[in-house]
Amino acid sequence: QSLPFGGVKDSGFGRFAGVEGLRACCLVKAVVEDRWWPYVKTMIPKPIQYPVSENGFAFQQLLVETLYGISVWDRLQSLVNLLKMISEQKSPITRRKSR
């Protein structure tokens, strides 16, 4: 009786008026809120904000390596590379064409 599809006429009542019919009318969304006190806001790092920058994948890869690296040395090395990447983004180098 609780199958989402089946039957015709009155025996197909669960097809449209049941749980599965109601679920078809719903739109699933994810809502994320800050759980910190009111004056502290968490932010998404600039390289992975939409639209994703060209080095967004490398940034995310370094971030995962920093948090979940196998050894302490790997974590420290990726942290240094991550900090280098962030400092390069804050101070962009303007290139001049040589004549």
* Number of domains composing the chain: 2
d(CA 72, CA 68): 10
CA distances 11 to 23, 43, 65, Å, are: 19, 52, 56
pLDDT band at 77 (very low <50, low <70, confident <90, very high): very high
Helix (H) or strand (E) holding 60: helix 56-68
86 lies in a domain?
Answer: yes
Structural domain including 19 reads 1-31
- Does residue 97 form part of some domain? no
Q: Are 53 and 79 in a shared domain?
A: yes
Whether the per-residue pLDDT at 98 is higher than 60: the answer is no
Q: Is residue 36 part of a domain?
A: no
pLDDT at 18: 65
Dump pLDDT digits (tens) for 18-65: 666 677 778 888 887 777 667 777 777 777 778 878 888 899 999 999
Residue 96 lies in a domain: no
Beta carbons within 8 Å of 86's beta carbon, 6+ residues apart: 45
